[in-house]
Structure 1
């Protein structure tokens, strides 16, 4: 499971990323839509991008913006690079190695963030959410989503986001899975 989905590596990771690519497009699109980013020049972060499906959906909405993907897996990087090669060469997509707990970005660098099917694998979700809050600009939205194959959201998800300092927390369920949208507070 770890090598297949948590931090894809080796043959198991290749198969896991291919499975994610076959089943994750609908949730990636829904998470991006729920994010509600309207500025075509926005800078949006995707954490744990896997095969790069969320990046594809984001670049479609941000023709003059920047999508920053952060993932620790070399297998995920390879798949996302292939899937997003044109956007990378245009300079609209940057893929970085890292984790939610140690984002390689400066403070208040991003206008929004998404992460699908990975918060429940983070060693310390509160630390990861606090780090995300650090790199988001005040007022920035964040969407966390879980597809049914991932096992769904952990219990206490709303409380976790509130403890990390997010506001306007809304949870929803759709045919694609469970989603949570929250906002970095405007005044810190």
Structure 2
């Protein structure tokens, strides 16, 4: 994952398009921490919050991102997409690469992602070729979860879907 995921992590973070240098970005299923490392380089004044249930992932990501963790710009938490250990509207963006197809209930997980995102925040879901690609009807799943501005992209790194948490209706 660490070797194959670097190019996708860079592309996904770029497509996520977070412009606020102090943004709080959530990565779900951070694995070896490659995406967290890319995010912390792009947003050195931001806060990167990683959530993953695996002890092995925590050890690997902590070793890879030890400097950012020591500075307080990266926080690694145990949890799953279906039960994110964060308050409502806590994050400015969310990203997850090569793991949505492992979520026991993807619709519940996406609803939980919406809960922790601020209105208008982007979310990026990506799959590298070794992962087997995205599940069928992924766009419909994001629509059912209430996301808007859904755009699908394909590149040599794989498949990416970017969506936005809907803005509040006044």
| TM-score for the superposition, normalised by structure 1 | 0.89
1:82 to 63, 77, 80: 63
1:154 partnered with 2:132:
no
**Could you list the runs of 4 or more consecutive aligned residues of structure 1 that deviate by over 4 angstroms after TM superposition?**
none
2:97 corresponds in structure 1 to 116
Structure 2: 5+ residue stretches without partners: none
1:145 to 113, 126, 129: 126
Structure 1: 5+ residue stretches without partners: 1-19
2:6 corresponds in structure 1 to 25
Query: Matched residues in 2 for 1:66 and 1:107: separation?
Result: 16
Query: Matched residues in 2 for 1:61 and 1:25: separation?
Result: 14
1:41 to 19, 22, 25: 22
Q: Per-residue deviation at 1:112?
A: 0.1
Q: Per-residue deviation at 1:23?
A: 1.3
Q: Which has the higher helix share?
A: 1
1:170 to 146, 151, 164: 151
Q: What does the per-residue CA deviation read over 1:83-110, in whole Å, with 9 as the maximum and x for residues that have no partner?
A: 0000000000000000000000000000
| TM-score for the superposition, normalised by structure 2 | 0.98
Query: Matched residues in 2 for 1:172 and 1:78: separation?
Result: 32
Query: Matched residues in 2 for 1:23 and 1:42: separation?
Result: 26
Q: Per-residue deviation at 1:116?
A: 0.2
What is the total number of aligned residue pairs between the two structures?
169
Query: Matched residues in 1 for 2:89 and 2:70: separation?
Result: 25
